Structure 1
Amino acid sequence: MEQVELGTSLKKEVMQMDQWSTVRIGPEPHIAVDHMGAGELVIFLHGVGGNKRNWDDNLAAFGEHFHAAAWDARGYGESDDYDGDLDRLDFVHDLSRVLDFFGEERAHIIGLSMGGQIAMGFAEHYPDRLLTLTLCATVNGFPHLSEADRAEFVRRRKEPLVGGKEPKDIAVPVAKTLVGPKASPEAFDKLVDSISRLHKLSYIKTIESSVKSKAHTKLGEIRVPTHVMCGEEDRLSTPTIAREIAAMIPNAEVTIIPEAGHLINIERPVEFNSAALGFLLRHRKRG
């Protein structure tokens, strides 16, 4: 995989690359993005325990038809860490920076779990920059949790790390809560690897910020084609939750991936690619 450092003089050269390459988008914190292909821009957003590697089984399939890109959110993977607390809108504004770098006014956004929440925030704050919206295995904030439940949510995830453990030490038990009962050993190992690569301090900031997220109240104003996807066996963002989100968005479509848990694109990449790519192909604007 070729590594390309940001520079305005490189922009046209980067955009002409058909092979898989990586760019770092500034200013600080720099955002690392894997990308390939040509055409309308599609951006994949990973979940709270993920990174851009989560989309390795998907990027090439989409890159045959689109300019497909997967980012490491700030504080994840090959992207920079940052000072101070996390404001969830930081992710939203970073996403706008990615579009700017690639010279695109609008893009197809595909977000999974936390990435889906970022995508909803992007739809609210940058509605004119969307071509389509695909929300995967996500929830609309945490309005169903009491203050005590939110504090307990943070404590369970933060306490082992503050107590001296590293992400790799919690990777296996956390992964077991995410995958479906019929997930392959390969899919499970990919998820364990993903969690093991977390930046401990940035992950804690993200967890603390996540429970402060309020439900998006403007989903009914979304006017672009929207696809809500979920795994049949997802215990965190259940099919019921997926249908509730879809019901808030005009004309949204719903796809439930059979025998999949939370990480639908990793557990069932063929089925995920077929459904998600099929939706985009029906709604792309350029040939």
Structure 2
Amino acid sequence: MSEDRVRVRMGDSGVATVTMVRADKHNALDQAMFEGLVAAAAQVAADTSVRAVVLHGEGKSFCSGLDVASFMSGRGGTGVLLERDGDHVANLAQSVSYDWSLVPAPVIAAIHGNCFGGGLQIALGADIRIAAPDAKLSVMEVKWGLVPDMGITQALPRLVPIDVAKELTFTGRIVSGSDAFALGLVTRNSGDPLAAALELAEEIAQKSPDAVRAAKRLYDETWVSDDARGALKLESELQTGLIGSPNQIAAVMAGMSGEKPVFADPTQG
């Protein structure tokens, strides 16, 4: 992963902070940024000590979207983004959003400044979004005569009704962080979204990582499914795996004693 574009830092409590580092360009997405984000998602997904992830952008913005000029000046243009590895469901453009769903631990996006086009789709790939009230968000692709194609189909339907999604996509209008909260695009507002995201991540990190990871999997696999039988079966399967496990027992003992629990890292990512 390129340190020039994406930085991953691990805290003592198991909170990983993933930072897009291209402040001079409002963290616009060039090929190095795409590759750095994909590598960062893979890194935190494979690390069983990660209890929660905070994703944010350095400088004045979360991410201002695709750096078209950088691709037009390079070999192959944007075609590299659409190439699909046969072993992965998403192409490079989609992976920077979709791959956060493959991280077993919760991912929290802290949104400030501009969050446009691909930048918004990256944020939508997180489990939770905390936005500054004055942040600016847009499904902006229509401005360039395009459709959003960075994993939006896997994220937006879980958040807003189809008419809201269409209106935002057909117009490309910019909404504030406050309006985004009202629409359901973001989870909540905060004057300091990064601090709020880190505080929430620390809170999650104090819970059983087995239970938190199982809950993420449960919702991700069933939320928009109409397979009631399969969803109810998964509930039972996940619960059976948790009951009597060391971390579940630790949670019970801590709940009964009032003492802070000590949890072991999950055995797999």
Q: Please state which band the TM-score falls in when normalised by the shorter chain.
A: 0.3 to 0.5
Determine which structure has more spread, i.e. the larger CA radius of gyration: 2
TM-score by length of 2: 0.35
TM-score by length of 1: 0.33
